[in-house]
Structure 1
């Protein structure tokens, strides 16, 4: 195929990938084909809630040995809150493995977040047995997915007219303007184009004029000049007669401000709700997360801006992030910058804005889980060179050529009851925060690759070596080295500092033996800090095993020569491991470590 034909084909593919038709609202089930018994969903389109549900069920049916699906609750409007678990039961129950939690679409308009979560489920499942890296990851890990945290908001965005920025909220009625009425003055689609555009009113002393080259654009006049038009806000009328337009639309709260860590009341943090977990969606997700202490990594997908965000959400919480944990965030986040062109690793409060009661802040600060938020899609992707279109005219020209004008509604006159004659039109709800459908799959895959890198850094423990030395008749010194090849420690410094969850433990058992003392060994001095334990045979390891490092422990054991000891290391956020050692002099020989019996979950 020559270059000209290839360019033509690309343009035609863009024409087929229309934002509105890509939703496929009329289709009762997702467009998916079967080849060699494998499911191949379309990733150049978007799925509303019902289509998302159907696709999730198809994936579970296609890979029943890996995937399961359950509803953990109901939304305000009664939609199921779906959780998909990916686990290989042949290597143990999900609860016995470190797990990654991944969700998306907490804000109703941030729709590609759900496609990214579903793509992750699909790619992982289809890769098992075919992609060695991912097969190994699945065998030693579990994944919990919530594709849509806000199913009502998602369905509302697909089914009703909106701007790119609305509606972030769920649909529980609220009184945004404090007039005693609920949701009484929202926007209206006055021109019937399926989106909420903007309005311009003629004004002889206006702030703008229409662009001479492209009259679709309104250009601000220079100081001292008079324009012909003034901005009249988003499309709608004054439904309640209070002199304001669109000040109290559906919902009006923010479920990403409703989590317990650093929660603040509504007059401090708008949209926070009356108390943490006050919405049915956040309540059931909170219960799920708390019931799964094996979650060692977290990822939440939002849009837009091309950001990899970590906490804290407020400056005064910087102290809640120990330097050891920050080092882990930096290493994983910098890898994300390599995998995601034009994305930046950022700190929420310092580089974006203050957030109280955010979800990933709760995971990180409240539960000690290494967690990120990715803001999907950036305008820098339009030109593929890291630059954004130089101005609105260049952006319009680019979207005309790539998307054939489908993300803009031409201006039409409307007799407005408050403003008189106005022009209504502008960008559709697909015009800015979502990638064009032909670019969606790459966006999904690159973010999937980042989260898999994150998942590969979950704790992976092994007994590296043991050394047995006889101190006296029937008295032995047993030295143990345990390594962690993941970047994430088996217990984060935050969790250890605040005593979040259960500490790790290293236990010794065996017939005819007794543990006299146990403690941590300082490797460079060969000195042991023996801890005062009522049961020294079960040593508490408060700090866990650090990431990509080793820890050393020493036991003083009474027993006959040749007796067998079983060493078992247990951690909430890592697989339990076991090995056996004989009471006989050794030369620090490596030992073969084995995972603990799969059938026994942590705890």
Structure 2
């Protein structure tokens, strides 16, 4: 895929801004760059809309929304969003991309948490969404880069009462000490860091310094007791800006929110099983998932069912759930990067809620073998260090941030290209209004019969989803006929919604053809009075399906 910028490293805020401004300045006929506001640390929350403005304005076409970096450390997601933006604009004159830009609008918020991502990229720290509130420091071992190698790893402390020992087959890894094991070298394990506060006779890892989770802050089944949910829905300026942006763009019908990791595509609903979902919407999600699997190799999983949730234990307040359940948008979460799958660990094994010690060690061995073969620099051998509080310890392990949570930079372009290929197919599901035929037939004495055939060329219906209908957010298909005195028929009005070809119910088999086609076309008729040479025009529009116009001259 042709791009202007390289995708072999992770862009910080300054570079991300440079790229967005570059695209805005070099492609004025395609882009609109907007700051959705300033973060608490003064960074712009950038959004960009992209379409071929020669073929209609941003709000005149059905739209796809792409975002990333809801979670600060999931920087692969922001790069995937930037990559799709780059591919669209760099290739805007290539036939396939030109057709997409003529037909659709694309909206991008590449980095929802610029403050959090900056901490992640420029310090050894990890954090969920954002570096606030600062709060009080917690007691325990506070994660810190003691050996100044830029990475916070594992720390093992020689301890004859320790619960861990080196595995005989792979001594770089630790296994849990067996109940009857008395001979050997044993360790207590902690994150690399310093002791802070009072912890008595226990060593414990201090709770995370920052706990806010933007993906628990949306007003959809929000639960205040859930960690990271915030004080109330959308109390973070970043999540509020995203919600307001989507509300202001009713033409958005499909959406990909890029996260990491695991190599899977997650579809709402998250608060309940997809068995309770509308069957049509469920089938459309499965169709979207099939595209993702074809392009990315990642399976589709329902959020609730795939993660073994229960009525009392499920992810609430998620952005994709809000987009679907509250706005009727077919949103999916792309969990990019699949080190475990590449290492031979299936998605089902990854999601197993309770792993035995033996199974956990087996998976770690497979992961380490992959790292040895593909990015050995990510692993640090156990190295002695004199700890200022604990005495002699050893620091070692992998660079979690850029092996597990994000792909090693050498794999970044490949991951971005997979995400872009999927997204450029997903957008094609959107409904698209068209006027297939518009004719005027003189009846004599300046009476004229005008006929039109309106069609939806898309896979999705003009109402997008049953969920959008349930939320009463669908706008009708509006028609307007101008240029002549109308004697029969409406000059302005609404017509019944149009299905897409994805709702075709015919079945084809060797024994015959059954069922019925989708109701994706409407025939309209007027009688008007106008002399020969008069031009009449038909305009149709729908917020979710775009607009079209046609004209003809009366003979």
- TM-score scaled by structure 1? 0.77
Match of 1:289 in 2: 246
Q: Deviations over 1:439-487 (max 9, x none)?
A: 211111011000000112222222234699999x999997754322222
- TM-score scaled by structure 2? 0.83
Task: Tell me how far apart the structure 2 counterparts of residues 464 and 384 of structure 1 sit (CA, whole Å).
Answer: 51
Match of 2:324 in 1: 364
Q: 1:420 to 1:52 in 2, by over 3 A?
A: same
Q: Deviations over 1:316-372 (max 9, x none)?
A: 6864x422222222112101101112x111111110252211111111111111111
Match of 2:547 in 1: 576
Match of 2:512 in 1: none
Residue of 81, 93, 101 corresponding to 2:45: 81
Match of 1:253 in 2: 212
Counterpart contact for 1:416–1:422, Cα < 8 Å: no
Aligned-residue offset at 1:255: 0.4
Counterpart contact for 2:60–2:547, Cα < 8 Å: yes
| 1:178-257 pair list within 5 angstroms | 181=136, 186-212=142-168, 214-226=170-182, 228-243=185-200, 245-257=204-216
Match of 1:30 in 2: none
For residue 41 of structure 1, give the secondary structure of its aligned residue in structure 2.
coil
Task: Tell me how far apart the structure 2 counterparts of residues 514 and 270 of structure 1 sit (CA, whole Å).
Answer: 64
Residue of 534, 546, 569 corresponding to 2:500: 546
For residue 355 of structure 1, give the secondary structure of its aligned residue in structure 2.
coil
Q: 1:430 to 1:539 in 2, by over 3 A?
A: closer
Residue of 44, 48, 57 corresponding to 1:93: 57
Task: Tell me how far apart the structure 2 counterparts of residues 545 and 467 of structure 1 sit (CA, whole Å).
Answer: 24
For residue 250 of structure 2, give the secondary structure of its aligned residue in structure 1.
coil
Q: 1:137 to 1:183 in 2, by over 3 A?
A: farther
Aligned-residue offset at 1:551: 3.2
Task: Tell me how far apart the structure 1 counterparts of residues 262 and 37 of structure 2 sit (CA, whole Å).
Answer: 31
Match of 1:154 in 2: 117
Match of 1:172 in 2: 132
- Consecutive unaligned residues of structure 2, counting only runs of 5 or more, are 350-360, 503-517
Task: Tell me how far apart the structure 1 counterparts of residues 43 and 59 of structure 2 sit (CA, whole Å).
Answer: 27
For residue 308 of structure 1, give the secondary structure of its aligned residue in structure 2.
strand
Counterpart contact for 2:378–2:398, Cα < 8 Å: no
Task: Tell me how far apart the structure 1 counterparts of residues 449 and 523 of structure 2 sit (CA, whole Å).
Answer: 7
Counterpart contact for 1:508–1:538, Cα < 8 Å: no
Counterpart contact for 1:311–1:361, Cα < 8 Å: yes
For residue 423 of structure 1, give the secondary structure of its aligned residue in structure 2.
strand
Task: Tell me how far apart the structure 1 counterparts of residues 217 and 304 of structure 2 sit (CA, whole Å).
Answer: 17
Whether 1:513 aligns to 2:470 is no
* Number of aligned residues: 514
Whether 1:404 aligns to 2:380 is no
Match of 1:309 in 2: 266
Task: Tell me how far apart the structure 2 counterparts of residues 579 and 60 of structure 1 sit (CA, whole Å).
Answer: 32
Q: 1:85 to 1:171 in 2, by over 3 A?
A: same
Aligned-residue offset at 1:136: 0.5
Task: Tell me how far apart the structure 2 counterparts of residues 333 and 465 of structure 1 sit (CA, whole Å).
Answer: 35
Whether 1:274 aligns to 2:231 is yes
Q: 1:479 to 1:224 in 2, by over 3 A?
A: farther
Counterpart contact for 2:343–2:366, Cα < 8 Å: no
